[in-house]
Amino acid sequence: MDTGRTKPLGITLHDNKAQITVWAPKAKNVICRTYQPNADIILSLQAYGYWYAESEEITAGQRYHFIIDGEVLPDPASRSQPEGVHGPSAVVDLQFDWTDQDYHCSTLRDFIIYEVHVGTFSSTHDFNGIIERLPYLQKLGITAIEIMPVAQFPGERNWGYDGTFLFAVQHSYGGARGLQRLVDACHREGIAIILDVVYNHFGPEGNYVDQYGPYLTDKYQTPWGKAINYDDAWNYGVRDFVCENVRMWFRDFHIDALRLDAVHAIKDFSPSHILQDIRRTTDLLMGKTGRKHYLIAECDLNDKRFLEPLEQNGFAMDAQWLDEFHHALRVAAGEEKKGYYEEFNGIAHLAKAYEQAYVFTGQYSTNRQQFFGSSSEGISGEKFVVFSQNHDQVGNRMLGERSSILFTPDLQRLMAMAVMVSPFTPLLFMGEEWSSQKPFFYFVSHSDPDLIAAVRKGRREEFSDFHGNGEVPDPQDKKTFDDSVLDWTEKDKAAHQRMLYYYQNLIALRKSNTVLRNLKRENIRVNSDLQKNSLILYIEQAKERLICLFNFSPSTQRFAISEDEIWKKMWDTGDNMWGGLSPTVLKDSLAHVPAQTGVILQSSTHIIK
């Protein structure tokens, strides 16, 4: 796709000169109005509706608006919105003194992902709060931090999925420079940065893009209103806008991977899907820079085309979130079968998830009321990201309860083991590792009273399937946000210290054990016992053998183990050292696994280091 645009979108600084580019294909005239000093710079129409000008009078930090046929508007490609989504844009110099020249992003197979919401991770609510905790995260064993969206949103409290300025880093978090400092600091520690981005909709407040051109279309509807225009008239400017945004994160911020939110909600019937364009954009940039970048999709369609290569007309994403593993795991652990959990059969579906990734592979889904899903055959395990909890699954509960509130410490350790011994890429949600008791609510800080009322109403309606009586926390109330901020003093208390010690050792096992570190889907065989609510993983790889026993039931279960080999415990979730009260006992070719615990056995004739 050649739009004829040769300069970056928005205002960028190069060699003491500002280059100004905006897409407004239906405009009659376009002016860039700068402040202090005040000036009106007239832009000239270029090919395909792009407008362009240069100026030597614009400096970093200067405020400005675009005037489109007399209407004063912030820049849709603004790099900074210091006065919020309704204020003027500000010029940012993205040149940065990087120190990560020797950094090399690890492979997906080596990712141990830690999901973070910048605003609630620390008491400072900004990027510096993450930088201060990097030594802690490295000691925990984290190799990649996934940051929830940072594109400028209304106010200072938001999950980030209401962003309206895709190029502007949230000002209250520290802006563009703060994010660059965070990435550079992470790379010094050998930690990758994954950034959550939203290309399926624009937020409802401060959304001025449609006044520039047909960024949105009535052709489709999404849960958030009009769809982004990827395949209707004038779509080329929108596609160019998104691909330029991808380039910016990788090129100017050295982001290692993008997590693309809810790609199943992207509507695009173009011959080349926007995800394929994003893939090609990423590949071209990697060819120029030599840096490795990943694309990770959130997708609930169970369609392996999202992971298949471009040569097969796939979308060529490097990985996708696997919600179905989470749903099956939670039901196995005792989650009430309501809402989207209703059709998951716990142990049986968890066994299928281990072997086939997707639980629904073409059978009838009562929740969707259709035959749903496809096979994931041929897709390697590291291309699926799994978890026992994440921001969605916690925050979309009415009371924002983490696993630490819903499950016993025994079950928390068992679920963590289930994630870490999978052939997939594991993800933790911030605070999970010390069993944080803090809730994680949904919160916003909109300024439009009608929108605030609509959000409150929507949250109440959302929980009709999940909950009975009870008050939904007010998303607009600052207390809802404050109550969601992590309490770092928790981890120093005895019970939380034991859980943290457990996670540190479990992650170390995943990283150091030759089988678990290199585990392939095809080397796993799974047996489930519905009556015992138990699961057995048989793993054989390079002549090395492991057996993983999971007992989700409320009583001790006995498992027969082969008499042909001598087995030794290498992991026990019930060990006293991390708070377990009932370790597994091996006796007479039987493993006596206590309630809500798990154990990993290895053949003593093939000791695995």
List the structure tokens of 379. 């897709």
| CB atoms near residue 38 (< 10 Å) | 7
Residue 493, helix vs strand vs coil: coil
Residues recognised as catalytic = 261, 298
Calpha distance 280→60 (Å, rounded):
32
List the structure tokens of 508. 């170390």
Of 608, 581, 576, the C-alpha closest to 596 is: 581
Calpha distance 330→353 (Å, rounded):
13
Calpha distance 215→237 (Å, rounded):
8
List the structure tokens of 349. 């579906």
Q: Any idea of the CA torsion for 287, 288, 291, 297, to the nearest 10 degrees?
A: -60
Calpha distance 80→171 (Å, rounded):
7
**Bind-site residues:** 259-264, 323-327, 391-396
Determine the distance from the C-alpha atom of residue 258 to the mean position of all C-alpha atoms in its chain, rounded to a whole number.
Answer: 8
Structural contact between residues 19 and 7, judged by C-beta atoms closer than 8 angstroms: yes
Phi first, then psi, for residue 456 (nearest 5°) are -60, -45
Of 290, 298, 338, the C-alpha closest to 315 is: 298
Calpha distance 414→411 (Å, rounded):
5
The partner residues of 73 in beta bridges, in order of sequence, read 66
Show Cβ contacts of residue 191 under 8 Å, excluding neighbours closer than 6 positions. 134, 137, 138, 142, 143, 144, 145
Calpha distance 263→272 (Å, rounded):
15
Calpha distance 178→193 (Å, rounded):
14
Show Cβ contacts of residue 450 under 8 Å, excluding neighbours closer than 6 positions. none
Residue 40, helix vs strand vs coil: strand
The partner residues of 451 in beta bridges, in order of sequence, read none
**Bind-site residues for substrate:** 259-264, 323-327, 391-396
Residue by residue, DSSP assigns 459-471 as HHHHTTTT--S-P
Calpha distance 179→127 (Å, rounded):
6
Determine the distance from the C-alpha atom of residue 44 to the mean position of all C-alpha atoms in its chain, rounded to a whole number.
Answer: 40
Which one-letter DSSP state was computed for residue 584? Answer: -
Burial class (CB in 10 A: 0-12, 13-18, 19+), 469: exposed
Pairing of strands 585-587, 544-551: unpaired
Show Cβ contacts of residue 291 under 8 Å, excluding neighbours closer than 6 positions. 105, 250, 254
List the structure tokens of 543. 């002549």
Q: Could you give the count of Cα atoms lying within 13 Å of 434 in the half-sphere of its Cβ?
A: 19
The per-residue b/e assignment along 510-545, b for 16 or more CB within 10 angstroms, e otherwise, is beebebbeebebebbebebbeebbbbbbebebeebb
Pairing of strands 585-587, 294-297: unpaired
